[in-house]
Amino acid sequence: MDSTRLPAPPGVDDRWLVSDRLGHQMIRLMRAVERAKAGKAVGPDGVERAAYVLLARLVLEGPRRSNALAESVHSDPSTVSRQVAGLVRAGLVERRPDPDDGRATLLAATDEGLRVFQANRDRRNREIGALTAHWDEADRLRLVELLDRLTTDFENHHLSSAASSPVLAPPEAS
């Protein structure tokens, strides 16, 4: 049900109503993305979607230790370790000696990992291009700016209130 059709609680202002509409649209978007990903735990290149996030981080930000990688994606080190092992077996990530500490290793994308990343990025960009082909370029650029701003604020809020309850309700709640 569209949350804009539900009665507002007494005493709310227009900002609350706009926040309610925004929350509803965000949940719709998250559900649509989840439906699109359903049944696609493994991409066409054989990479688990969850592991692909790690590969992307290594390509975009460069080599790093496993614990730093886990921290950067807000994931458990043991989960990241399992996913990295699969990426290493697939030849997409390699372990290199850490030049700052000979006892440690860095994880780095291989040339094949970079190729897979670029192929996935191209596929994603073509899908987004097709979805928004009927939009004018000014609207596409404005959406990028607004999503960047919203995501940054969300990340900063999450960092400052990590111990509090989640900001967004689970999809079932709306």
DSSP 24-73: HHHHHHHHHHHHHHTT-SB-TTS-BHHHHHHHHHHHHH--B-HHHHHHHT
Domains of the chain: 49-112 (1.10.10.10)
- The predicted pLDDT at position 170 comes to 52
Low-confidence ranges of the chain (pLDDT < 70): 1-6, 39-45, 161-174
> Would the pTM of this model clear 0.85, i.e. be above it?
no
